[in-house]
Amino acid sequence: VQDKNALHLYSVNGKYLGSETLKEEVSDMCVTGEYIVMGSLQGFLSIRDLYSLSLSISPLAMRLPIHCISVTKEYSHILVGLEDGKLIVVGVGKPAEV
């Protein structure tokens, strides 16, 4: 069975650069600096490198479907809206900085 969810990367000129098969169904995403921040209906928050598409950290389990994602303009926090209406604030950075 072929996976139906994939992330494809193209240059601004339309040249195909690569792709990555995804296990989850993406519900929202945003590009921030050199990273792609994605939320899934399976409840995972993922951060991927914009150029290699590889995971930068292990996906974080939010336990409920993610409906929306936003990153603060200082790139210090990720705001995650869940299906039950809760807003989860995730600190970005080394553990000592969070």
Q: Fold for domain 6-91?
A: Thrombin, subunit H (2.40.10)
Token pair belonging to 49 = 């490198």
pTM equals 0.85
CA pair distance 82, 66, nearest whole angstrom: 5
Do 44 and 37 contact (CB within 8 A), yes or no? no
Report pLDDT digits (tens) over 5-62. 999 999 999 999 999 999 999 999 999 989 999 999 999 999 999 999 999 999 999 9
Would you kindly state where each structural domain of the chain is located, as residue ranges? 6-91
Which 3 state secondary structure label does DSSP give 85? coil
> 20 φ, ψ to 5°?
-140, 130
Give yes or no for residue 1 having a pLDDT over 90: no
